[in-house]
């Protein structure tokens, strides 16, 4: 590594740490890796002592690492305007080629290396250490911990480089997007014809592999990174965008939005980078990960999962992402010049969530039901669970994070509360959906009633948190 690359690498690491520590709870952020290790250890202990195969746990962690990589890549390279809204008028080093005598491609290469080291040490190492209970119980060998660290890091990098290569192609205009669409369609076609992609990922190396298998599994990472750096058009600029007087037209379509705050939120999302498409993209990633995890669970357990219940439970997680999008492009201070209260703004966010978030996750749920097939009663109950859990997640997120859901993910205390509130509801439903299919009528009735109840709890949490945030922002 040359001295310039080394300097960029160190400064980017420092920048990443400052960014996270300022956003996510200040000094409390330093305790986040410890919390991750404890959380993973608790989950591994709980799952293995309740009969879950350790192989399923290992597979799930690798799936999450891939999902985390996909999300990290999209945030780093797509969400520049979102970062600007959160942090103010700042310039990240990776986007500073116009002001520094450094090429954009060099910055991109160092940025990818920085991401690999930063997240491998701060997040993926604690996750690997979290497998200690399985080592103590004899389910895994001690060598499994460094192996899991290596393979989850590789899965994370695979996700980052997939996103990076896709974004690079998208900067090449219509031809790049067409190629991207063709590759995605080809991959989807290959998967539907039975090609086992999972075997050729770094996860396939966890239980040991030959040298050729290692090469096949790891080669896509530098290859995708090289493609991304090569095709990324450094002169690419998004075409200037203009917006007509769409506010009255949108408001006419939403008769329940007399104050116009819901329309404002939706327009903020529509006019940001990626527009409404990024909401669909986020939902699509969760849909793909859900599909892989459920397939994997079926392979390991040998039991056919319930499509309705399983997808209903997992796809509801998109509620958090959607709430993140609808709160990312403004803050409370921006509303203080208007004659509106904090309660008005929170209610507008809730209405925007209903308009944007619920149809998105319901759409992917219906796609899963049609594509995979589902028993009608389980599909109906799964739909009830989906909506109920989405409302529950919305209520929990508003109660814990207010208008800053993107800031509390790495706040140890708040994230612990969020994880506990999520696990209490989601884990029992997933157990039923993954290992107790076909679900009995009694269980379906219980799940349906439970879905309605947790949805009601979510609405109550959201409404009761309004006075709390009014007092908070008034101070």
pLDDT in the model for residue 91: 60
Say if residues 412 and 25 touch (Cβ distance below 8 Å). yes
pLDDT in tens, 363-395: 999 999 998 888 899 999 999 999 999 999 999
What is the pLDDT at residue 352?
A: 92
The mean pLDDT of 143-167, rounded to a whole number, is 89
What is the helix (H) or strand (E) element at residue 163, kind and residue range? Answer: helix 144-170
CA atoms within 13 A on the CB side of 191: 14
Radius of gyration in angstroms for the set of CA atoms belonging to the chain, rounded to a whole number:
23
Q: What was the pLDDT predicted at 431?
A: 83
Mean pLDDT of 283-291: 85
User: Residue with structure tokens 């979510």?
Assistant: 458
CA distance linking residue 383 with residue 434, whole number of Å: 16
pLDDT at 456 over 60: yes
The mean pLDDT value of the chain amounts to 82
Q: Which residues contact 294 (CB under 8 A, 6 or more apart)?
A: 305, 307, 310, 311, 314, 434
* Per-residue CA distances from 163 to 22, 160, 238, 292, 293 (Å): 26, 5, 18, 18, 20
| Three-class DSSP labels, 299-315 | HHHCCCCCHHHHHHHHH
Cα 115 versus chain centre, distance? 17
Q: Give, rounded to a whole angstrom, the gap between the first and last alpha carbons of the chain.
A: 50
Residue with the bigger pLDDT between 134 and 87: it is 134
Residue 334 per-residue DSSP state = G
CA angle at 282 for the pair 240 and 314, rounded to the nearest 5°: 165
Distance CA 294, CA 297 (A): 5
pTM of the model: 0.67
What is the Cα–Cα distance from 200 to 205, expressed in whole angstroms? 8
What pLDDT shows up at residue 232? 76
**Confidence class for position 87, pLDDT limits 50, 70, 90:** very low
* Cα–Cα distance, 318 to 225 (Å, whole number): 28
Q: Are the C-beta atoms of 323 and 349 separated by less than 8 Å?
A: yes
Tell me: the pLDDT tens digits for 264-281? 888 888 887 778 888 888
> Is 287 in contact with 321 (CB distance < 8 Å)?
no
220-231 and 104-119 helices, crossing angle to 10°: 150
Whether cis (ω within 30° of 0) applies to the bond prior to 438 is yes
The answer for residues whose C-beta is within 8 angstroms of residue 181's C-beta and 6 or more apart is: none
**Residue indicated by tokens 């090469």:** 215
Exposed / middle / buried, residue 127 (Cβ in 10 Å: 0-12, 13-18, 19+): buried
Across 410-415, average pLDDT: 71
């Amino acid at each position: 590594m040359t001295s310039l690359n080394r300097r960029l690498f160190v400064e980017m690491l420092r920048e990443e740490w400052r960014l996270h520590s300022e956003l996510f709870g200040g000094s409390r952020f330093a305790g986040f890796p410890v919390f991750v290790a404890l959380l993973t250890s608790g989950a591994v202990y709980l799952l293995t002592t309740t009969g879950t195969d350790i192989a399923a746990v290992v597979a799930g962690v690798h799936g999450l690492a891939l999902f985390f990589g996909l999300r990290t890549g999209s945030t780093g390279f797509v969400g520049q305007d979102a970062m600007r809204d959160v942090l103010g008028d700042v310039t990240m080093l990776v986007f500073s080629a116009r002001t520094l005598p450094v090429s954009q491609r060099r910055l991109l290469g160092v940025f990818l290396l920085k991401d690999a080291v930063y997240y491998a040490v701060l997040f993926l190492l604690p996750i690997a250490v979290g497998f200690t209970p399985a080592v103590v119980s004899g389910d895994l060998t001690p060598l499994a911990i460094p192996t899991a660290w290596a393979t989850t890091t590789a899965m994370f990098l695979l996700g980052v480089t997939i996103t990076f290569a896709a974004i690079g192609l998208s900067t090449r205009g219509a031809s790049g997007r067409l190629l991207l669409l063709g590759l995605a369609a080809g991959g989807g076609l290959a998967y539907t014809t039975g090609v086992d992609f999972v075997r050729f990922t770094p996860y396939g190396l966890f239980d040991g592999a030959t040298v050729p298998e290692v090469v096949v599994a790891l080669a896509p990472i530098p290859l995708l990174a090289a493609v991304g750096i090569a095709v990324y058009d450094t002169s690419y600029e998004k075409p200037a965008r203009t917006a007509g007087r769409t506010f009255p037209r949108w408001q006419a379509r939403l008769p329940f939005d007399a104050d116009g705050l819901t329309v404002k939120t939706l327009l903020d999302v529509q006019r940001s980078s990626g527009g409404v498409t990024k909401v669909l993209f986020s939902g699509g990633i969760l849909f793909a990960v859900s599909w892989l995890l459920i397939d994997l669970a079926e392979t390991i357990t040998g039991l056919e999962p319930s499509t309705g219940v399983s997808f209903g439970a997992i796809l509801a997680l998109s509620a958090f992402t959607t709430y993140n999008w609808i709160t990312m492009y403004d803050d409370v201070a921006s509303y203080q010049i208007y004659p509106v209260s904090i309660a008005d703004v929170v209610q507008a966010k809730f209405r925007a969530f209903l308009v944007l978030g619920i149809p998105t996750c319901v759409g992917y749920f219906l796609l899963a039901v049609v594509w995979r097939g589902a028993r009608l009663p389980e599909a109906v109950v799964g739909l009830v669970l989906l909506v109920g859990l989405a409302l529950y997640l919305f209520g929990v997120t508003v109660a814990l994070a207010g208008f800053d859901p993107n800031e509390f993910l790495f706040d140890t205390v708040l994230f612990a509360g969020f994880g506990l509130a999520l696990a209490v509801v989601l884990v029992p439903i997933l157990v039923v959906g993954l290992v107790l299919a076909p679900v009995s009528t009694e269980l379906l009735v219980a799940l349906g009633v439970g879905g309605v109840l947790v949805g009601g709890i979510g609405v109550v949490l959201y409404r009761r948190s309004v006075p709390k945030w009014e007092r908070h922002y008034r101070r």
